[in-house]
Structures are given as structure tokens and as C-alpha cells.
Structure 1
Amino acid sequence: MLNSEPYCFVFYICRYILKTIVLGQMLSLFICGTAVTSQYLAEQFQVNTPMFQSFINYSLLLLVYTTMLAFRTGNDSLLQILKQRWWKYLLLGLADVEANYMIVKAYQYTTLTSVQLLDCFGIPVLMALSWFILRARYKLIHFIAVAVCLLGVGTMVGADILAGRQDTEGSDVVIGDVLVLLGASLYAISNVSEEYIVKNLSRVEFLGMVGLFGTIISGLQLIALRSICPVYVWAVQLHASSD
């Protein structure tokens, strides 16, 4: 009679790999949907609300996962987590909020294709952070892939600059590309922190604390932007009238 244990092990590994691939593709599909709708709102309806979009996401996380933490007791309770690690989650929330804001804001200046391709700049940044923080180690093929990624990023930025100059929108395109690169770098910081917290603490703690601090930071920034924009418009109109 054949031993079934090796076959069970192989089946488990294949199922795990397949599950990982499917979940990754679903995540990519959702990200693509967010990108397309953000670009559509910015171009067709002139709806430029990057901070408000992020505020809704963080509010939903707050409603679900922070509430779950609030009902916990012991060392995993919301109060204990805030006492021990509040400043770390404050920095993490700030990085995550600004990454979302910059990426969505970039759709006002550059194209959907540029945003999606330049967003890959987060891969080499993430690998560098993982090397020092998570002690991850990579092979030569990984570094070659990163070099190709950086070459593609440089080519895309150069192509955007040349195309923008021909369309007399060079400065706007550059602003959009810079926003994407900064946002991708902040996303890398957030993703490395997420992996560390999920593996060493818990998924609920990460989502709950990001929801809490993300809602606070994005809410304050939303209020600040709504207060500054009318003043800026008034100053521009005043300057135009004086000329």
C-alpha cells in the first residue's frame, strides 16, 4: 500500500500556492478598479477628492476592526496597544495616509498608465527595507529584476517628460510622476510594517490601529485642505484682479 503522506503534503503546498495566487490577483483587480475609477472621476467629472476617498476607507476600518480591538481584554486590548505602541502606529498611519493621498492626487496630473507603471518603484524600496528590517535575503535574479524595474521607471519618467513638453503640459506630468514615486516609497514603508505586524502581532491589530490613526490623520488633513483651498482661490482671484 502506497504511503499517502507525501501526496497529502504536495496537495497542501499546491493548494497554498494556488490560494496565494488567486488572492493576489483579486487584490490586483481591486487596485485596478480603484485606479480606473479615480482617473475617470478626475477626467470626466473633475472630482478631485483624494483625501476624502482615503477618509472613507479608514473610517470603515475604524468601524470594524478598531471596534473589535475595543472589546478585547488583556494585553491585546485597544488601551494596552495604545499605551505600548501608539507612536509607532501614528507614524505608520501617517505614511499610509500620505501614500494613498499622493497616488490618488497623481491622477490629476498624469495618466493611468504612468501611475500604474511608476507604482512599481515601491518594489526596490520594499526590498531594501525588508533586507534591513525583516532580515530578508534575495538572490541575484531578484537584483536583476530590480535593475530592470528601475530602468523601466526611468524610461517611463523620461517618456512622460518628452510627451508633456509636446503637449505643453510638461510640468504637470512631472508633478504627477513625482507624486507616484513618493507615494510608492511610502507604500513600501507601510507594506513592510504590515508584514512585520501581521506575522508577529495580529492582523486585527494592524487593521484596527491603521483605521484609528488613519481616520484621525486623514480627517484632520481633510479639514485643513478644505480650509486652505478657499483662501488660496481668493488669493489667486485677488492677484488676478490687481493685474
Structure 2
Amino acid sequence: MLIDEKPYRQVGEAGPAELMCVADHASNFVPDDIELGIDPKLLDEHIAVDIGVNGVADRLARRHGIPAHIATVSRLVCDLHRKEDEPAAVPTESDGHLIPGNIGANIGRRMALYHRPYHTALGDMIDRVQPKLLLAVHSFTPELATSSQERPWEIGLLYNQDDRAARHAIRLFGEQGLTVGDNEPYSGKQLNATMDRHAEARGIPYLTLEIRQDQIATEAGQARWATLVADVAGRVLLALESA
């Protein structure tokens, strides 16, 4: 649901902190005045929400002192991890499913209600928190719905031009015995809109994390990964500062 009609919620201290978390795809909420024209069951699947991410981001904020900016609207309403002028910002198709209610949708209204307020508030929060490292948390499916291709990575690190933090994190997650994807299962060269805008443009190091959904589908998994992410992120920051 939207909090005070806002497409985001912010959890944690508003003042300066070394780390800050962003979760663009944390919600499957669809406002009552939007009819997507899809089977409601799809709202619990990956096309509508990054499963497990809301719990991970919330725990990072409440249990590990990492302030979080968390989306409260489904990416099928407005994909906040896309640029405004990208067709996928209001998708008419996702992972083989047609989204008929978005065909002919008022794109400008969606941007004004969801995309712009979300990113304006995120930018303002970064100004307040002044993080030395940003964490963008996402999740991915164990296999593609449109094929039987399995994805073996428990976690992937995505980046575009700035790979300073990712290189350390790939090594540190690997040392935990995890199978780590380097720009997998997607490439941050193509899918990095939020961090391009709020991290790379400001010169802030960042980690874009893609956690496999089966790892964080339960509360126990979310708690485990929040602890793991907080630990690795802290060690990445130490490595960056000592470089």
C-alpha cells in the first residue's frame, strides 16, 4: 500500500550514515484506480515484485542501522528502476505476460504520481544521509519463466562504469562459499538506472545486489541475508577507504 499517498517509505535514521539501502522493486501493490487486466495471482510473482526484497531492506534498516528507501508500488504500475523515457517504465509486457491495462495508459500521470516523487525523495534522502556506499537490493528467479534455463548464482553483483565496490563484494561473497555472478543474471551496463542516476552521477560507490529468490523467500532467509549483506557491505567500505 502507499504510505500517505507516497510511492515509497523510508526506514531508519534520517541523519548521516555510512551505508544506505534502496529497494526499487519491493512491492506488488496496485492502486485501486489502476486496472492491469492480469490474473491477480501474477501479483505474487516476479513480474510484479522482487520476492523477499522488502523483508531484506526492512531488516537492513531496523536491525543493522542501514537507512532504507523502499518502493511501495508494483513495477507493473511504474517501474522505478527505469528511466522515464523508457517504454518499460510502464510495461505492456513482462516475462511473456501481456499487461493489457497498461496499453494506452496515461504515462505522464504515472510518472507524476510515482516515478518522480520516488526519485526526488531518494535524492533528498541521499543528501541527508550522505552515505559513503549505496546498496541497491533486488532479487531474481531461480530460472526464467520463458525457458528452463537454471541460474546457479546465489547472488549477482551488477555495475555499469563504477565497479570499485562490486569487485570487493564479489570476492567477499565468494569467500562465504557462495556462487557469485559478475554482472549476472543481468548486466548493469543495461539495467542500472537508479544507481546510474543516484550513485554514479554523484561519484558514490555502490553495490547493486541481485539475490536469488529461493534464498530470501522466507523470513529466516531474509534475516540471514540481511546480516550477510550488512557484514559484506561494511567490509567493502573498509576496503574502499583503505585503498
TM-score > 0.5 by shorter chain = no
Answer with 1 or 2: which has the greater Rg.
1
* Structure showing the higher strand proportion among its residues: 2
* Structure showing the higher helix proportion among its residues: 1
| Higher relative contact order, structure no. (Cα contacts within 8 Å, ≥ 6 residues apart) | 1
